[in-house]
Chains A and B, each alone.
Chain A
């Protein structure tokens, strides 16, 4: 059973703060690591798909890094805004027979206070 852990479980920050959270995944059989944002009453939305060790992705104020050798990825949000409030999910895709299956972590719930 694959274990994908996210920390912290929840986070409260003030508008303008920068923040980051962690996703830990198995360091063997790596295929890809996904990040999704899930706002309340909406559908999860893809942020990044990361495939190579050392990958860095950026979308506006949000960026992510990937370390496949040690099995972790960081998501950074610079200058948090209230509209960034959401649950951030990471999902691991392994290179075994389950290429098309994503194993999700339980998410980090971010609340940005105005």
Chain B
């Protein structure tokens, strides 16, 4: 059974640009969550999607957005990149019910220059 796949693995962008990250969940999983990891910070919740609907959103500016497609694949978009957006972005999938453990992808390392 294939795991959670994130693409690309590494990305270098400059300030002001926008970026789109992709996440393919484990087959059968309908929930996809996105987290940001920066040095010195824990994993910070961005948002969670289930069956194409955003169920929860974290405390990030509107420049961070996401969506989920009918096949449960998800994309995250960051517009007008800032230096502080440099981070490891992890997505995680689950069946979507209560108390479900998350299965994480390997992440996308974004560097903003």
B101 is an interface residue with CB less than 8 A from chain A: yes
Q: Does B56 lie within 8 Å of A46, measured CB to CB?
A: no
Chain A, interface residues (CB within 8 Å), range: 20 to 34
- Residue ID in chain A nearest B58 by CB atoms: A101
> Does the CB pair A51–B99 fall under 8 Å?
yes
Q: Which residues of A contact B106 (CB under 8 A)?
A: 42-43
**Cβ A103 vs Cβ B4 within 8 A:** no
Nearest B residue to A48, CB-CB:
B101
Docked pose: A98 CA to B90 CA in angstroms: 19
Find the B residue at minimum CB distance from A90. Answer: B42
Chain B residues touching A, range:
20 to 34
B42 A89 Cβ-Cβ under 8 A:
yes
Contact between B101 and A43, CB atoms less than 8 A apart: no
List residues 17-49 of chain A with CB under 8 A from any CB of chain B. 31-32, 34, 36, 42-46, 49
CB pair A99 B90 closer than 8 Å: no
Known contacts: A32-B99, A49-B99. The answer to whether A102 contacts B42 by CB under 8 A is: no
Q: Shortest CB–CB separation between residue A2 and chain B, in angstroms? A: 10
Which 10 residue pairs spanning A and B have beta carbons closest together? A46-B101, A43-B104, A104-B43, A106-B42, A104-B42, A101-B56, A100-B48, A44-B104, A101-B45, A100-B56
25 A-B pairs whose Cβ atoms sit less than 8 Å apart in the complex = A31-B99, A34-B101, A43-B4, A43-B90, A43-B106, A44-B90, A44-B102, A46-B102, A49-B101, A51-B99, A89-B42, A97-B56, A98-B56, A99-B56, A99-B98, A100-B31, A100-B50, A101-B33, A101-B45, A101-B56, A101-B58, A102-B45, A104-B35, A104-B43, A105-B42
Q: CB within 8 Å of B: which residues of A?
A: 4, 31-32, 34, 36, 42-46, 49, 51, 89, 91, 93, 97-107
